[in-house]
Amino acid sequence: MKIGYARTSTTEQQAGFDAQLRDLAAAGCERVFKEQVSAMGHRAELEAALDFIREGDTLLVTRLDRLARSTRHLLEIADRVKRKHAALNVLNLGMDTSTATGELLFTVIGAIAQFERQLLLERQREGIAAAKVAGRYKGRAPTARRLSDQVRELAAAGSRSRQSQSGSGSVGPVSIGAWEPSYRLLSGNDQDDPKK
């Protein structure tokens, strides 16, 4: 059975997401696990796909970077697939780990993909440093502080957790706790204080 996995980091990347789904369907996937979440966070659908595959199945992805962000993580996923006596297929590379050559190429290309990612991050840091020197870098908008009045109002109204104080989700619970430790005093809530 062919099982597909599609992922984009954000919901704004809908065109890329749709293209992945289209390519996986064209490749004959009978079931597709899909999610729009960062590769750095928990990926429930990837876990579900890895749990779902059985002996003789093939897990298909359109591109290597849709599967993992580091060589180590990529090799861990490949090992999980291999232990289930299944194969991994990367469509844009025509790479299939069911062959010895495919497995070798998979490892080498995974290392190159990680190298490219590190170069990209290095160039990004250099660009930010240059923009700061030129006085053009403003940084990310401080969402949590900008919405502090809203958070305080929710806490004063009796919200019982950081999650509910984050309102519509534009401010994460961790951000609230990082700059507003007094949220527990405002709401009388210390249940999600990690020190308790």
Q: Report helix, strand or coil for 116.
A: helix
To the nearest 5 percent, what fractions of the chain are helix, strand and coil? 55, 10, 35
Q: What Å distances lie between residue 78 and 26, 36, 190, CA to CA?
A: 23, 21, 42
Measured CA to CA, the distance from residue 150 to residue 177 in angstroms comes to 14
Q: Is 9 a catalytic residue?
A: yes
Radius of gyration of the chain (CA): 22
Which entry of 9, 98, 161, 164 is annotated as an active-site residue? 9
C-alpha closest to that of 74 among 25, 30, 39, 49: 39
User: Annotated active-site positions, please?
Assistant: 9
